A and B are shown apart, each in its own frame.
Chain A
Amino acid sequence: SAVISQKPSRDICQRGTSLTIQCQVDSQVTMMFWYRQQPGQSLTLIATANQGSEATYESGFVIDKFPISRPNLTFSTLTVSNMSPEDSSIYLCSVQSRFTDTQYFGPGTRLTVL
Chain B
Amino acid sequence: AQTVTQSQPEMSVQEAETVTLSCTYDTSESDYYLFWYKQPPSRQMILVIRQEAYKQQNATENRFSVNFQKAAKSFSLKISDSQLGDAAMYFCAYRSAGGGSNYKLTFGKGTLLTVNP
State whether these chains interact: yes
Residues of A bordering B, CB below 8 Å: 1, 31, 33, 41-45, 48, 56, 58, 90, 92, 94, 96, 101-105, 107-108, 110
Per-residue A-contact encoding for B95-117, CB less than 8 Å = 1, 0 else: 10000010111011110000000
B33 at interface by CB-CB < 8 Å: yes
B47 at interface by CB-CB < 8 Å: yes
B62 at interface by CB-CB < 8 Å: no
Q: Give the residues in chain B near A107, CB-CB below 8 Å.
A: 42-44
Docked CA distance A107–B42 (Å): 8
Residue contact A103 to B43, C-beta cutoff 8 Å: no
B65 CB, nearest partner CB in chain A, Å: 18
Instruction: Give the interface SS of chain B, mostly helix, strand, loop or mixed.
Output: mixed
Residue contact B91 to A43, C-beta cutoff 8 Å: yes
Residue contact A45 to B104, C-beta cutoff 8 Å: yes
Docked CA distance A102–B50 (Å): 8
B84 at interface by CB-CB < 8 Å: no
